[in-house]
Amino acid sequence: MKEQIVICENLSKNFVVGNSEVRAVDNVSINFERGEFSSIVGPSGSGKTTLLNLVGTLEIPSEGRIIINGTDLSHFTKEQLTNFRRKNLGFVFQFFNLIEGLTAYENIELPLIFDSVPYEQRKHAVEGLIQDFKLGYLRNKFPEELSSGERQRVSIMRALVNDPIILLADEPTGNLDSKTGRTVLELFDNLNKERGTSILLVTHDLSAAKRANRTLHMHDGKITFDMKIEEMIKEGI
């Protein structure tokens, strides 16, 4: 049996807005396997980001629990969650979230500095990624000197620098033109196929979703469809 790296059990998240309550994620139970590339699609407001943020420990569940790589996060304090996240998870966002005053190299290195990783080890990790992805020419450039595609590549390197259990990406091509978006998606593809990186990708873009080997649809906080690519091909979807 494949190794389950993320286990979500009866997960719900409610947000209180004024006098009303929104159930953004509604009793979701789902697991992700090591090496799996899954996409989440669904209409705006269906709970995709909230589910991703729950898995990413950026949101605390209202009900249910999450187990990542055998660690039950239910009773973790905020500080313990932050430490866990820094060591074990990688995030890619729509708007890159790079620090303007830092070079590409320094941006990639930053998560390791936050995690108090010693200098030699940091250097080894950042240099390794820069070599692997042939981004040496970007090393000393600041974000404002980079194209949007280059920024997203740098932010993907930053997400990978701690060798995360899973890479969590929320609309990573949402701010890119379609050609640049495709090259970024190819990078995700390669990461998954060649390095075995486990990926959870939230996207509006169906062609992006199809690159994944499993697709989930969300609606009103629930998962309404969950299929592996082989099954979809068999069913002609």
Ligand X SMILES: Nc1ncnc2c1ncn2[C@@H]1O[C@H](COP(=O)(O)OP(=O)(O)OP(=O)(O)O)[C@@H](O)[C@H]1O
Q: Which is nearer to ligand X, 22 or 99 (CB)?
A: 22
Angle between helices 148-160 and 119-132 (to 10 degrees): 130
Return the residue of 12, 39, 46, 49 that touches Mg ion, per CB under 5 A. 49
DSSP state of 99: -
- The interface partner of residue 57, options being ligand X, Mg ion, none and the CB cut-off 5 to 8 Å by kind, is none
Q: Which of 7, 9, 34, 45 binds ligand X (CB under 6 A)?
A: 45
- Paired tokens of 203: 């996207």
Residue 50 interacts with which of Mg ion, ligand X, none, CB < 5 to 8 Å by class? ligand X
Q: Token pair 């979500």 is at which residue?
A: 8
Looking at the DSSP bridge assignments, the partners of residue 214 are 38, 228
CB of 205 to ligand X, least distance (A): 11
One of 2, 15, 124, 225 touching ligand X (CB under 6 A): 15
Q: Is 71 helix (H, G, I), strand (E, B) or coil?
A: strand
Q: Is 46 in the site for ligand X (CB under 6 A)?
A: yes
197 with 165: CB under 8 angstroms? no
61 binds ligand X (CB under 6 A): no
Nearer to Mg ion by Cβ, of 65 and 204: the residue is 204
Instruction: List the one residue out of 149, 153, 143, 131 whose CA is nearest residue 106.
Output: 143
The pair of structure tokens assigned to 95 is 């708007």
Pattern 102-141, binding to ligand X, x per CB under 6 A?
----------------------------------------
From the list Mg ion, ligand X, none, which binds 1 (C-beta under 5 to 8 Å, kind-based)? none
DSSP 138: G
Strands 199-202 and 37-41: parallel
17 binds ligand X (CB under 6 A): yes
22 binds, among ligand X, Mg ion, none (CB under 5 to 8 A by kind): ligand X
- Which residues lie closer than 8 Å to 135 by C-beta, 6 or more apart? 104, 129, 153, 154, 157
Least separation in angstroms between CB 171 and ligand X: 7
Q: Among all chains, which residue has been given the structure tokens 């009866």?
A: 10
Among Mg ion, ligand X, none, partner that 113 touches (CB below 5 to 8 angstroms by kind):
none
Interacting residues of 82 by C-beta distance below 8 A, sequence separation 6+: none
Q: Count interface residues toward ligand X (CB under 6 A).
A: 12
| Residues within the interface to ligand X (CB under 6 A) | 15, 17, 22, 24, 42, 44-50
| Residues within the interface to Mg ion (CB under 5 A) | 49
